[in-house]
Amino acid sequence: MQFDALSTPALMLDRNILLRNVAAMSARMKENGVALRPHLKTSKSADVARLATNGHSGAITVSTLAEAAYFLGKGFTDITYAVGFVPSKAPQAAALIAQGAKLNLVTDSLAAAQAMTAIEGDAVFPMLVEIDCGDNRAGVLADGPELLDIAQAIHEATNMELVGVMTHAGHSYGASNIAGVKAIAEDERSAVVHAATRLRNAGLPCPIVSAGSTPTAMYAEHFEGLTEMRPGVYMFQDLTQLSRGVCQRGDLALSVLASVIGHNRHAGHILLDSGALALSKDIGANAAWPDTGYGDVCDLTMQPFEGLYVSQVSQEHGIVPISDDSAFSRIPVGSKVRIAPNHACITAAAYSSYNIVEGDRVVDEWDRVNGW
Amino acid sequence: MQFDALSTPALMLDRNILLRNVAAMSARMKENGVALRPHLKTSKSADVARLATNGHSGAITVSTLAEAAYFLGKGFTDITYAVGFVPSKAPQAAALIAQGAKLNLVTDSLAAAQAMTAIEGDAVFPMLVEIDCGDNRAGVLADGPELLDIAQAIHEATNMELVGVMTHAGHSYGASNIAGVKAIAEDERSAVVHAATRLRNAGLPCPIVSAGSTPTAMYAEHFEGLTEMRPGVYMFQDLTQLSRGVCQRGDLALSVLASVIGHNRHAGHILLDSGALALSKDIGANAAWPDTGYGDVCDLTMQPFEGLYVSQVSQEHGIVPISDDSAFSRIPVGSKVRIAPNHACITAAAYSSYNIVEGDRVVDEWDRVNGW
């Protein structure tokens, strides 16, 4: 099928770029002797998960229990749900465990760990303690008192099993260059390894020592003491990663196919049928590249039209300002363009499936799971 | 069902507030002798559409062809698809017309109108010409030369029917007070009425003279010359409208139920399981209210916790900064809160259904249609 047969907006995933991206990360993790537990929060797709885990154990990371249920249904049994768990979600988690999932849960809260002990039923929940390695989002400090209190409470409970520690250097997305990423990668590694050492010194089990973000997985100097990495967006990459130098333009696997629906000559802009829902309102690349707006406008081969970007979005409209009228003839009304999005994870979430692209043809359609 | 039985994040719609909001707009349109063609881009729900069209003709507005197909399947036949149309979408539109839809399409492009004449098949497409009333998004100027050229091209075509003119004062969302809204409402009205007059003076038909946004529908001084209004977000309202004084806090029908999943004591914030996907990255209210972030944190009765708002989001995490530790005891780990979103249309799009709420109970579940 040619692109012209697709109704717009449509989500496009370039299979060859995807294959290259997952192969590179797979090889890097193997070379470094670290298990790869890819994060499927970006793709939410079993087809992508099969490629990303190829040659590895099949272990995966998810961001919602809906993803966990979907991937379990597709045969993935070793799953880490990497968002802080609370007992009110125990019925869903217990059901997945009963269906055969080895479902690792995460907490950074003594209160949550203590409340878990009151959950009724047969399920034994594998638990990871989350460490804050400098991201300042979730997690306890690796050298603070809470770590051992939480780990001890989990270890003593009859319905939980302490399986280790995990961290996520989300602040690596904000590094302005690769030297900055390398420094954050070392902070990430050393924090979670230090936490693991404290647990073991206290006589507590810690088989899993888990870290990972795409920038730190790609650029860490070494992974000593880590048992696994959990990168995710590397599979697709996006303008946010590109703007930080984490990837090259040719690594962008995801795009949105849009139609030109109007030329506003009095206002000096081109109108696309892809707006806040089709692209998302994420503007992550703008911190480094202010003229990225909601995405770069590219031709059907993903070559950027110089100077053309989506500057404003409303629900179903994207506005592309132009500096001179020649842009009107380059992308006439009715023509199609491809938009490189800021943040693949957020843009993809508006779609229920991927159009799988090879060159100028759509060769397949892959589903994805949304919601919670 | 009690709120506690819901897994989070969950989309909540307060039925009594919805009923009050739709009744007020319905009455206002009737008093002013203007037909109401509510925009369903916010709710994307047939249950909501039935309430919003109650006592009116059943005419509706949609923002995607997926919505048009969904609502046609639910018995709504008089539909305006209010985003610029291009011929590549003709197969979908023709299929809906063949199934009984009176599907009004929109253009502001002579090139698109001319290209429409080449579409093969039996369908006759009802067409509205879009007018720019000052929003500077889509539309031709009411007094410019393009209007009559486009209208004439449509009128002369055998597969199109010129049914009128339409405009949307999207810039009314940016007005800082009601006086500003009233001025924009008059610009909106006078522009589209002027365009209609020009068409009629040229001997062209113009049965539909359509305008509308929630602020202008609520506050216009009069609607002389208009045949219909197309407001949408008034049904749910949101923080963006509230921050402009368009509605009251008690008019907010939509919220997101979130769980507290962590207390980060060293960073001084509370973690919610509702982030960029559950709330969206829209920060529309921040222009007027900088301390709104990604949404207000409210208790289960929708009373705001003073000073608590979601300042940062990542994909599945929301961060609520606190000024002193008392907030930790007010919303402990495991407890649930409700978030009032910035922009109802964008937040709701992440969910496949609404939990319909009356008081502290969930009384029903209504579906919605997403995608394109």
pLDDT number for residue B174: 86
- The answer on A263 and A222 residing in a single domain is no
Task: Look at A273 and B314 and tell me if their CB atoms are within 8 Å.
Answer: no
Task: Look at A282 and B276 and tell me if their CB atoms are within 8 Å.
Answer: yes
Cα-flanking dihedrals φ and ψ of residue B9, to 5°? -70, 150
pLDDT number for residue B340: 97
Residue pair A242/A17 in contact by the 8 Å Cβ criterion: no
The phi-psi region of residue B75 (left if phi > 0; otherwise alpha if psi is between -120 and 50; otherwise beta) is: left
Instruction: List chain B residues with CB under 8 Å of A267.
Output: 132, 136-137
DSSP structure class, residue B251: G
pLDDT number for residue A36: 98
Q: Which residue of A has its CA nearest to B142?
A: A266
DSSP structure class, residue B343: -
Instruction: List chain A residues with CB under 8 Å of B111.
Output: 263, 332-334
pLDDT number for residue A274: 98
Query: Taking CA A122 as the corner, what is the angle to CA A117 and CA A124, rounded to the nearest 5 degrees?
Result: 60
What CATH number should be reported for the domain holding residue B279?
Answer: 2.40.37.20
- Asked if the structure places residue B239 within a domain, the reply is no
Q: Report the candidate in A213, A207, A62 with the shortest Cα–Cα distance to residue A134.
A: A213
Separation between Cα atoms, residue A289 and residue A278, nearest integer Å: 21
Query: Taking CA A209 as the corner, what is the angle to CA A205 and CA A211, rounded to the nearest 5 degrees?
Result: 155
Task: Look at A109 and B266 and tell me if their CB atoms are within 8 Å.
Answer: no
pLDDT category at B311 given cuts 50, 70, 90 is very high
Task: Look at B86 and A315 and tell me if their CB atoms are within 8 Å.
Answer: no
Task: Look at B261 and A65 and tell me if their CB atoms are within 8 Å.
Answer: no
Task: Look at A351 and B371 and tell me if their CB atoms are within 8 Å.
Answer: yes
- The answer on A334 and A225 residing in a single domain is no
Pairing outcome for strands B361-367 and B312-313 = unpaired
pLDDT number for residue A128: 98
Rounded to a whole number of angstroms, the distance from the CA of B16 to the nearest CA of chain A is 26
Q: Which one of A200, A235, A270 terminates a domain?
A: A235
The 8 Å CB, 24+ separation contacts for B319-326 are B319/A137, B319/B269, B319/B270, B319/B271, B319/B272, B320/B269, B320/B270, B320/B271, B320/B272, B321/B268, B321/B269, B322/B268, B322/B269, B322/B270, B325/B265
For residue B314, give the nearest of A108, A139, A170 by CB distance.
Answer: A170
- The answer on B293 and B347 residing in a single domain is yes
Q: Report the candidate in B131, B159, B133 with the shortest Cα–Cα distance to residue B146.
A: B131
Q: Please check the confidence at residue A16 and state whether its pLDDT lies above 90.
A: yes
DSSP structure class, residue B138: S
Q: Give the residue-averaged pLDDT of A231-247.
A: 96
Cα A320 → chain centroid: 27
Residue pair A216/A169 in contact by the 8 Å Cβ criterion: yes
Query: Which site among A166, A313, A314 would you substitute to test the B interface, given the most B Cβ atoms closer than 10 Å to its Cβ?
Result: A314
- The answer on B215 and B337 residing in a single domain is no
B191, B196, B198, B204: CA torsion to nearest 10 = 160
Q: Which residue of B has its CA nearest to A371?
A: B351
Task: Look at A372 and B8 and tell me if their CB atoms are within 8 Å.
Answer: yes
In chain B, the percentage of residues whose pLDDT exceeds 70 is 100
The 8 Å CB, 24+ separation contacts for B204-209 are B204/B148, B204/B151, B204/B152, B204/B155, B204/B162, B205/B155, B205/B162, B205/B163, B205/B164, B206/B162, B206/B164, B206/B165, B207/B163, B207/B164, B208/B104, B208/B128, B208/B163, B208/B164, B208/B165, B208/B166, B209/B164, B209/B165, B209/B166
B221, B222, B227, B229: CA torsion to nearest 10 = 20
Residue pair B317/A138 in contact by the 8 Å Cβ criterion: yes
Tokens standing for B335? 């407890």
- Asked if the structure places residue B240 within a domain, the reply is no
Residue pair B125/B116 in contact by the 8 Å Cβ criterion: yes
- The answer on A300 and A192 residing in a single domain is no
- Asked if the structure places residue A76 within a domain, the reply is yes
- Asked if the structure places residue B220 within a domain, the reply is yes
Separation between Cα atoms, residue B287 and residue B267, nearest integer Å: 27
Residue owning tokens 């400098």 = A134
Residue pair B119/B103 in contact by the 8 Å Cβ criterion: no
- The answer on B69 and B22 residing in a single domain is yes
Q: Which one of B209, B233, B257 terminates a domain?
A: B233
Residues B203-213: tens digit of each pLDDT: 999 999 999 99
Cα A243 → chain centroid: 17
- The answer on B288 and B260 residing in a single domain is yes
Task: Look at B352 and A370 and tell me if their CB atoms are within 8 Å.
Answer: yes
pLDDT number for residue B218: 97
pLDDT number for residue A174: 86
pLDDT number for residue B1: 83
Residues A144-191: tens digit of each pLDDT: 999 999 999 999 999 999 999 999 999 998 888 899 999 999 999 999
For residue B319, give the nearest of A137, A334, A336 by CB distance.
Answer: A137
Half-sphere exposure at residue B91, Cβ-oriented, CA atoms within 13 angstroms: 6
In chain A, the percentage of residues whose pLDDT exceeds 90 is 97
Which helix (H) or strand (E) element contains residue B242? Answer: helix B239-243
| Overall size of chain B counted in residues | 372
Task: Look at B263 and A109 and tell me if their CB atoms are within 8 Å.
Answer: yes
- Asked if the structure places residue B353 within a domain, the reply is yes
Task: Look at A115 and B8 and tell me if their CB atoms are within 8 Å.
Answer: no
pLDDT category at A140 given cuts 50, 70, 90 is very high
Instruction: List chain B residues with CB under 8 Å of A64.
Output: 316
For residue B138, give the nearest of A41, A83, A262 by CB distance.
Answer: A262
The 8 Å CB, 24+ separation contacts for B57-66 are B59/B35, B59/B228, B61/B37, B61/B230, B61/B232, B63/A315, B63/A316, B63/B39, B64/A316, B64/B371, B64/B372, B65/A7, B65/B89, B65/B92, B65/B93, B65/B96, B65/B372, B66/B369, B66/B370, B66/B371, B66/B372
Instruction: List chain B residues with CB under 8 Å of A261.
Output: 83-86, 109, 112, 138
Residue owning tokens 């049994």 = A77
- The answer on A301 and A273 residing in a single domain is yes
E strand map for B196-253:
208-211, 228-229
Strand partners, A229: A36, A211
Q: Please check the confidence at residue B4 and state whether its pLDDT lies above 90.
A: no
Residue pair A7/A30 in contact by the 8 Å Cβ criterion: no
Rounded to a whole number of angstroms, the distance from the CA of B337 to the nearest CA of chain A is 13
E strand map for chain B:
10-14, 35-36, 60-62, 78-81, 102-107, 125-132, 140-141, 160-167, 208-211, 228-229, 254-264, 269-272, 296-298, 304-309, 312-313, 318-321, 336-340, 353-358, 361-367
DSSP structure class, residue B243: H
For residue B264, give the nearest of A63, A138, A346 by CB distance.
Answer: A138
Residues A20-41: tens digit of each pLDDT: 999 999 999 999 999 999 999 9
What CATH number should be reported for the domain holding residue A72?
Answer: 3.20.20.10
Cα-flanking dihedrals φ and ψ of residue A164, to 5°? 145, -160
Residues A47-91: tens digit of each pLDDT: 999 999 999 999 999 999 999 999 999 999 999 999 999 999 999
Residue pair A282/A342 in contact by the 8 Å Cβ criterion: yes
User: Lowest-confidence range among A174-183, A338-347, B104-113, B265-274?
Assistant: A174-183
Number of domains chain B contains: 2
Rounded to a whole number of angstroms, the distance from the CA of B225 to the nearest CA of chain A is 25
Q: Under 8 Å CB-to-CB from A23, ≥6 apart: which residues? A: none
Separation between Cα atoms, residue A60 and residue B50, nearest integer Å: 44
- Asked if the structure places residue A241 within a domain, the reply is no
Residues A190-233: tens digit of each pLDDT: 999 999 999 999 999 999 999 999 999 999 999 999 999 999 99
Residues A246-271: tens digit of each pLDDT: 999 999 999 999 999 999 999 999 99
- The answer on A130 and A222 residing in a single domain is yes
* CA-based radius of gyration for chain B: 22
Q: Which one of B180, B203, B233 terminates a domain?
A: B233
- Asked if the structure places residue A240 within a domain, the reply is no
Q: Give the residue-averaged pLDDT of A331-352.
A: 98
pLDDT number for residue B126: 98
Task: Look at B264 and A139 and tell me if their CB atoms are within 8 Å.
Answer: yes
Instruction: List chain A residues with CB under 8 Å of B262.
Output: 84, 107-109, 112, 138
- The answer on A325 and A224 residing in a single domain is no
Task: Look at A261 and B317 and tell me if their CB atoms are within 8 Å.
Answer: no
- The answer on A152 and A293 residing in a single domain is no
Half-sphere exposure at residue B360, Cβ-oriented, CA atoms within 13 angstroms: 8
Average pLDDT of chain A to the nearest whole number: 97
Q: Which residue of A has its CA nearest to B86?
A: A334
- Asked if the structure places residue B207 within a domain, the reply is yes
For residue A259, give the nearest of B10, B88, B137 by CB distance.
Answer: B88
Task: Look at B273 and A314 and tell me if their CB atoms are within 8 Å.
Answer: no
Task: Look at B334 and A276 and tell me if their CB atoms are within 8 Å.
Answer: no
Task: Look at A262 and B132 and tell me if their CB atoms are within 8 Å.
Answer: no
Residues B169-202: tens digit of each pLDDT: 999 988 888 999 999 999 999 999 999 999 999 9
Domain that includes residue B37, residue range: 16-233
Q: Report the candidate in A253, A318, A259 with the shortest Cα–Cα distance to residue A7.
A: A259
- The answer on A185 and A124 residing in a single domain is yes
For residue B112, give the nearest of A87, A277, A334 by CB distance.
Answer: A334
